[in-house]
Structure 1
Amino acid sequence: MTQAQALEFVTQLASGNYTTEELDVLQAYLREAPRQELHLFFDAYYEAIRALPDSGPVDPEFQQRLYNLYPGEDDAGAAPAPQGLPEAFLPRTRPLWAVVTGIAAALALVIVTASVWSHRAPEKPVLAAVPAHHPAPAPVIQPGGNKAILTLSNGEQVVLDNEHRGSVVNQGGVNVVKTGDGSLAYHPSSLPAAPVFNMVSTPRGGQYEVTLPDGSRVWLNAASSLRFPTAFVGATREVEVTGEAYFEVTKDPKRPFTVKTPGLDVDVLGTDFNINTYSDESVSRATLLNGSIRVKGRVLQPREQAVVSHTDGGLKVIPGVDEEETVAWKNGNLQFNDADIPTILRQVARWYDVDIVYEGKVPQEHFTGRVSRDTDLSGVLHIFALSQIHFRIEGRKIVVTA
């Protein structure tokens, strides 16, 4: 098979209209093809899947053949996924980027792998096929976006996603502006005699960026809040956070910066760090990217994470954390590393503003992967079907059925 023939074959492959012999020929071509040709083939296959109204069930024979395409080596010698293609892997096993590229990339360029995948065998190979009759589509649940409410010191609330660019309000010499990129910024022209507090809160399915009066920048994740003074008066700078937030703090050694949360407090000089303190998680986490912070008397170095138990307040420091995973939400991704289904679905629930219900036993699989937060909900949920984990959408409720 030549490159041109392989590219012509992708439509048949996507719709399930192929024979075992043709699959043999394709596998032989892919095994020997240069990396650039692999890029082109899987890109074409992804586009062919997207063009179908329904991609049908996953063909387990095709899945297994792609699984075996790269036999892999030990951890030190395993070949990385080609640049530009999704990468997925089983812990301490072979790379599975090929499997997921051919199937899950068609579901919004997801990279995901179940830790039990290699132990499952389909009862009977079923070729993917486009059904003759399509059932009524499930409701499309769109991802979240820039949504927040500003609560002023007098209790008045401003829905920020409805506000036009420009001045939102002036409070005691502090001009609050919605900037050109949609974020909120505070510009004090004079200092009030006593602190005046505002709060920015995001709903489920919301995120927002705020520039504080000292120039520090804060990104709020979904279902989070930030309470702060409209101008920092006195020798300290203190803010309060619930949920999750990423900080880039302006250095000012004479006025230390403190973030107070229900689960932990963080003392800062000038640094970049992330705080995750959702009440439905078992721990709060403060992860340092640059600079230094102090949590419960322990000074953290870059790439260290302070983990504080919500049960007993105990502190554990984890070195060498994955910075990309920590700030994936800020950079537009849902990302998880060896995470169980409940952990992943809590992220999903916050971003897509849905409720999660388990019908029967909670699945025990663990997943590693990344998906754009711009993907609609069905595209995210479909990836779990590769491990026989299924969902039913009922309005804004997601029922996990297996």
Structure 2
Amino acid sequence: MNVNNYNNHTTEADLLRDDFFIRSMLAPTEETERFWQQVLLVNNLSEEVFEGAKQKLLQPAHSMNQHAKDALFSQITESTHTRVRKISYYRYAAAAILLVLGISFALFRYQSNEVPVKELAEKSQADTSGILLVTGDGETVNIEGKEAVLDFSNANAVTVNKKKLEVARISQAVQHEVRVPVGKRISLILSDGTKMWVNAGSIVKFPSHFDKKQREVSVDGEVYADVVKNPKKPFVFHTKEFNVQVLGTSLNIHAYSDDPNQQVTLVEGKVKVKSSQGEHFLKPDESYFADGKTEEVREVDVTFFTSWKDGFYRFKDQQLKDVIQNLERYYGTDIECSPKIAKMTCSGYLDLKDDINMVLRGVAFSMDIKFKKEESSYKLYQ
């Protein structure tokens, strides 16, 4: 790192948007302390600004009101998430604390809650099998690797990672099914060119070719979709609890059959969500929420619901148990968490390209708890 990089850092906001500053304040070393001393000596950065940014970063959560926490969270996330791909040189032991997670003891906070929380360890063992394509004629194809691109848009061939898939009569099969186990993901390109990112632990049912009147797909899990526009042929997503109709749009659907919390988040276009309780029309930057009892539509920051497809996980004011549940699906491993810790609420930004050990190390450091590996699972505890 060159001290001259900080010639233009003259305010606290400049430092709070700087990844290296965040990391070196939270996990200081003799080398980083010498570096910042040199910056203060040779640059325009004043010691008052430096100390002010440092104190904001390290300020205990109990001494901050909610407005201050939200302001700090927004200030730090404002630009860092657009530059995360450029900072690979920071990726070592402290990388799990990268970006907003690094300020977690300013943002993570315990929230008293008397609602009982079951041990997360009660979850069944993670499915570590491969991605499966089950064709309409019953043939099963194992797709190797943690991620893949399955393409049905070419009329003459079906490909996996641009390689032709040798499956008998697949182009004539009516209905196919992709099963993505926990710890894996797949991109699915349908016959009309619609592209879907299918998250871990999800099942998608789709045809080789759509009929003339309507395009229909079934989802159990989470998908992000860029739907090709065709006013004459509406696109319908079917889930266990609701249907979503679109003409051409970008949206995220979170609808795991074993999760009572269901969401549809609209990025572009317009959609109609139809459930047993009625119909809801969404505009961009709106989400439909349902928990099995109530449902509502509210305005949201869509990046908190769609960042997973790009390998990042953003969350705000979520209980740790929900964060852990998503990490379990994404990494395909069990994580045990005590009821007390599970009720903590937190905000953060995780790079899912880091391995699970690095991510959990960052979570434990930030929340002042401990973690350890136990055979094929992990445990968070105080």
TM-score range, shorter chain: 0.5 to 0.7
Distance 2:358 2:211 in 1: 48
Query: Is residue 2:281 matched to residue 1:299?
Result: yes
* Counterpart code for 1:300: L
Alignment of 1:61-210 (within 5 A): 67=58, 80-81=75-76, 106-107=95-96, 109-112=98-101, 113=104, 148-161=131-144, 175-180=157-162, 196-210=174-188
The corresponding residue for 1:331 is 310
Does structure 2 conserve the Cα–Cα contact (< 8 Å) formed by 1:258 and 1:268?
A: yes
Distance 1:279 1:348 in 2: 18
Matches within 5 A, 1:54-65: none
Query: RCO greater where, 1 or 2, for CA within 8 Å and sep 6 or more?
Result: 2
Name the structure 2 match of 1:315: 295
RMSD: 4.7
Please name the residue that 2:237 is paired with. Answer: 259
- Per the alignment, do residues 50 and 325 of structure 1 end up closer, same or farther by CA in structure 2, a change over 3 Å counting? farther
Partner of 1:396: 376
Q: Flag the structure with larger Rg.
A: 1
User: 3-state DSSP class of the match of 2:196?
Assistant: strand
Q: 1:271 and 1:309, CA in 2 relative to 1: closer, same or farther beyond 3 A? A: same
Map of 1:374 onto structure 2:
353
Seen in structure 2, the aligned counterparts of structure 1 residues 308 and 209 have a Cα distance that, compared at 3 Å, is same
One-letter amino acid of the structure 2 residue matched with residue 374 of structure 1: K
278-287 or 297-306, larger mean C-alpha shift: 278-287
Question: Structure 2: any 5+ residue segments left out of the alignment?
Answer: 32-53, 83-89, 111-127
Cα pair distance change 1:114/1:157, threshold 3 Å: farther
**Cα drift, residue 264 of structure 1:** 1.5
1:276 CA drift (Å): 0.2
Task: Give the AA of the match of 1:401.
Answer: Y
Give CA-to-partner distance per residue, 1:359-390, whole Å, 9 cap, x none: 46444221111111101112111233332222
1:350 aligns with 2:345: no
- Structure with greater helix share of residues: 2
Letter in 2 for 1:152: T
Deviations 1:251-307 (A, max 9, x none): 111111110011221011111111001234222111111111111222111111111
C-alpha distance 370-183 of structure 1, shift in aligned 2 (>3 A): farther
Give the 3-state SS of the residue equivalent to 1:374 in structure 2: coil
Q: Deviation at 1:177?
A: 1.5
SS at match of 2:329: helix
Displacement after TM superposition at 1:351 (Å): 1.0
Separation (CA, whole Å) in 1 of partners of 2:57 and 2:308: 30
| TM-score normalized with structure 1 length | 0.64
Does the CA-based 8 Å contact 1:174-1:189 persist in structure 2?
A: no
Question: Matches of 2:315 and 2:266 in 1, distance apart?
Answer: 18
Percent of aligned pairs sharing the same letter:
27
User: How many angstroms apart in 2 are the aligned matches of 1:33 and 1:116?
Assistant: 17
Amino acid at match of 1:371: L
Q: Give yes or no for contact 2:263–2:289 (8 Å, CA) kept in 1.
A: yes
Equivalent in 209, 224, 227 of residue 231 of structure 1: 209
Residues 280-336 of structure 1: CA deviation (Å, up to 9, x unaligned): 4222111111111111222111111111233x4x43111x21111111100111221
Change (3 A) 1:285 1:50: farther
CA contact (8 A) 1:264 1:308 kept: no
Note if 1:247 corresponds to 2:225.
yes
Alignment partners' CA distance in 2, 1:154 and 1:64: 64
Whether the 8 Å CA contact 2:369–2:381 is kept in 1: the answer is: yes
Shift of 1:204: 0.5
**Matched residue type, 1:364:** K
What code does the residue aligned with 2:272 have?
Answer: R
Q: How many pairs were matched up? A: 315
8 Å contact kept, 2:58–2:105 = no
8 A contact 1:360–1:401 mirrored in 2: no
Equivalent residue letter for 1:238: E
Q: CA deviation at 1:81?
A: 3.4
CA distance in 2, matches of 1:155, 1:393: 39
Q: Residue 118 and residue 395 in structure 1: after superposition, are their counterparts in 2 closer, same or farther (change >3 A)? A: closer
Q: CA deviation at 1:175?
A: 2.4
Gaps of 5+ in 1: 8-29, 53-62, 88-100, 120-144
